[in-house]
A and B are shown apart, each in its own frame.
Chain A
Amino acid sequence: MSDFKVTIRSRDNNIHVLELKGYLDAHTTPALEDSFQKMLNEKKYRLIVNCKELSYISSAGLGVFMAFIEDVRANDGDIKMSDMSPKVFNIFDLLGFPMLYDIVPAEEEAAKKFDMTK
């Protein structure tokens, strides 16, 4: 339907950032799944999902995070989320994600959190 794009970029301290752009629903989840899978295959477990340009996320999109979080955490990594618009945050919040995931206002903050746990 709408466009969705994932851009992967790396930061210091072996942190990788997935920038999401567009509309994440059942039709577009494979793109995000592939990106996560790629990270796992490359043994990259310190991940930040930058949601700055994410305009919508459906339940199927939320499911993708749930599918990968266990594996990531089992390898001493984490998926942290940042830069959510209030609307997107509301969707995460409604489901209680803030209790399960590290959701921070800015990417820098997430990176710092990783640094602390290094």
Chain B
Amino acid sequence: MRLKKILLLFGAIILSVVVFIVNAATKNVDLAATMLQYVRTTCILLTFAAIYFYIQIVKREKQRGIVQGIGSVAIFAGIFLGTYLIISFLPLKGFETRDLTLYPRDYQTIFFSSIISIVSGIFAIVSLLFIKDLILYKRKKNTLRNFLILIGSIVITSLSELIDKPLEDSAVSVIFLVIAILMIIVNSFRLAWIAYLPRKEKVYSLLYSLLSFFGFLIILVIISSEAGWTEKGIHYYSSALFTFVRITSIFGTVYFGMSFVSTLFHLPTAEAFDRKQTEISSLHNLGRLINQVFDLKDLAETATKMAAEVVQATSVWLEIIPTEGSFHKSGLMSQRNIDDQEIEAILSGGEKSVRSVVCQTKKVLMIDDISTDAMTKHLPKMKKTGSLLIVPLLSHEQVIGIVYATKEINFGFDKDDVDILAGFADQVAIAIENARLIERSFEKERLQRELMLAQEMQQRLLPQHLPVFATVDMKAVSSPALEVGGDYYDYVMIDEELVGIVIGDVSGKGVGAAFYMAEVKGIFQSLARIYRSPRDFMIKANGALVSSIDKRSFISLIYATINVKTGELIVSRAGHCPMLYIGGGKKEYVKQVGIGLGITSGKIFDESVEEQKIMMKSGDVCVFYTDGVTESRASNGDEFGYDRLLEVVDAHKHLGAEEIKEAIIQTVWNYTDAKGYHDDLTVFVVKWT
């Protein structure tokens, strides 16, 4: 880019020198349509082409605001006028006019004509480039077209001069001149840029426009006056350039005249416009900032502070109304420059309070004068509050919060404040929703982790392996319906011959159930070794549990001891599903009385517990299970029930404990259409081999 600039500049200088030499060499000759004339004209065109590209590059490198652009135009006008003034003090002999052709009287005149011509050309190009920026600002459909027609007509008018003698006018140039003038008028109404300027820039724009206007006007007068030699000098250099500069000057005069007047008219509204602009940008910033705050409390505080800034309120407070299922049960408040008593005073009035009104109407409420308004005149006298603006925060048509703003003076809020606070309220409502969603997902994740932990704990409470004996085959399985179920089974070796097995169901599910299960395991592992009789064990276990568990929770348990030498099985039931016994020619549920553990204390329980003795023989099967088996439902809603369980065990009783267990699970699974178990499901099979 740098090299290109140097080349362009260098080229422009060389070409100018060439033109000067030609001019000097042909001082007293009318070149008319000779070859040399064409060379000269081409050189001049190329000179300005090079200057044009050079200025384009420089302008692009130094990106500036549009107002500075007008300033640049004014500066270049100044340079032109300065050059003009200096040259006019020099003793130049000027031109002699013969037959519509100009002949310079001395070489100085040729030289300074070149200088003033090049300066005027640069000035015209710079002006057009900057005016182009102004005109194309906020462009509409025809903006660019109109501008290009103008430039086109200026260039054609200028170039048409080339075919004539310097002081001659042709019909073509006149036609295009008319078009150019028309387009100047059309383009001069493109002043959209003024409206968007901040107030300070408008003042500068006013100044620069005025300077540029006078600059163009003076230049126009100078180059149009036949008394001075400048007009002749540029004409002599190139009549096309002369026309170009002149039309550009007309355009500049008209355009900056218009822009001056227009800016002047825009000045009174500049402040309001500025305010709107800052409001919009601050609202945008607020929206962005507020969406980065995820904690509701922080959010409320930030929003309160910002709301106070946007409407310049004396005091602001914000209330976030808790939604159902929200973790903030109490309404969240954030206040600024106001205390609780004052808030309470303003919001008093029960059903007719301003708060209730806003909650019901879901609309903005503005009270211009708190002491006279029908809605608030009953309120006690307030020193600090004259007017009130209340905006509901809405989300899905629900009022999720309310922003209140006050001002000391009456009629403190205007329509703009309402709009801006309403816009702000929308942003805050979205932010609150976001914060709540995030909070909920955090909470969910926390619960998930808790459940995982409980599940792990529960899995550890169940025995990893059951003991293996020569006489009795034992197999068990438990699968929770949720991550954490309430089913429990376990065994304990009371002595070498006696094994105690237990299966139970803790009411409720989840973490609570897992804790009770841990307690049951502790009780089972310790008491079973001390109280060898299942009935005694149940009574002691109930005594331990009834005082420690929640009154709406209970544990159903079935406990059996098996003597692995003799086959003596003693079973006791406390509220649990009865044991299924198939053997000795019988197939039945051993249904004893027995209240669930933890339901009632003392005598009633103790008297209810029974125990039953069974002598197991080869081929006998006992099945312990939880209600997840019998209460499993088919898709039509029917329960699996006791009969089906009995049938499936009976059909597989000749197989090993593992196969019987699998058969039960498989049958239940098929019965429920493999939709997954309805409840926790546990099966414990004991088979005497």
Q: Do A and B bind each other?
A: yes
Query: Do B552 and A95 touch across chains, with their CB atoms under 8 A apart?
Result: no
Taking the closest CB of chain A, its distance from the CB of B605, in whole angstroms, is 8
B552: A residues at CB distance < 8 A? 63-64, 66-67
A70 at the interface (CB under 8 A from B): yes
With CB as the reference atom, state the residue of chain A lying closest to B576: A94
Candidates A59, A70, A100; contact of B507 at CB < 8 Å: A59
Cα separation A60 to B556 with both chains bound (whole Å): 13
B599: A residues at CB distance < 8 A? 66, 95-96, 100
Cα separation A98 to B594 with both chains bound (whole Å): 10
Taking the closest CB of chain B, its distance from the CB of A61, in whole angstroms, is 10
B94 at the interface (CB under 8 A from A): no
Query: Do B593 and A26 touch across chains, with their CB atoms under 8 A apart?
Result: no
Query: Do B551 and A66 touch across chains, with their CB atoms under 8 A apart?
Result: yes
Query: Do B508 and A96 touch across chains, with their CB atoms under 8 A apart?
Result: no
Cα separation A104 to B508 with both chains bound (whole Å): 27
Candidates A26, A60, A64, A95; contact of B575 at CB < 8 Å: A95
B595: A residues at CB distance < 8 A? 95-97, 99-100
A39: B residues at CB distance < 8 A? none
| Chain B stretch 550-571: residues in CB contact (< 8 A) with chain A | 551-554, 556
B639: A residues at CB distance < 8 A? 87
A62 at the interface (CB under 8 A from B): yes
Interface on chain B toward A: helix, strand, loop, or mixed SS? loop
Knowing A59-B507, A59-B508, A63-B508, the reply to whether A95 touches B556 (Cβ < 8 A) is yes
Query: Do B551 and A67 touch across chains, with their CB atoms under 8 A apart?
Result: yes
With CB as the reference atom, state the residue of chain B lying closest to A64: B552
Q: Interface readout for B477-497 with A: 1 if CB under 8 Å, 0 if not?
A: 000000000100000000000
Knowing A26-B508, A26-B509, the reply to whether A63 touches B553 (Cβ < 8 A) is yes
Cα separation A70 to B552 with both chains bound (whole Å): 11
Cα separation A42 to B330 with both chains bound (whole Å): 27
Of the listed residues A59, A60, A94, the one surrounded by the most CB atoms of chain B closer than 10 A to its CB is: A59
Candidates B505, B574, B594; contact of A59 at CB < 8 Å: B505
B366: A residues at CB distance < 8 A? none
B593: A residues at CB distance < 8 A? 96, 99
With CB as the reference atom, state the residue of chain B lying closest to A63: B552
Besides A62-B507, A95-B599, 8 more A-B contacts (Cβ < 8 Å) are A59-B505, A59-B554, A60-B507, A63-B508, A66-B554, A95-B575, A96-B595, A100-B604
Q: Which residues of B approach A to under 8 Å, CB–CB?
A: 486, 505, 507-509, 551-554, 556, 574-578, 593-596, 599-600, 604, 608, 627, 639
Q: List 10 A-B pairs, Cβ < 8 Å.
A: A26-B508, A59-B505, A66-B554, A94-B576, A94-B627, A96-B575, A96-B594, A96-B608, A99-B593, A100-B599
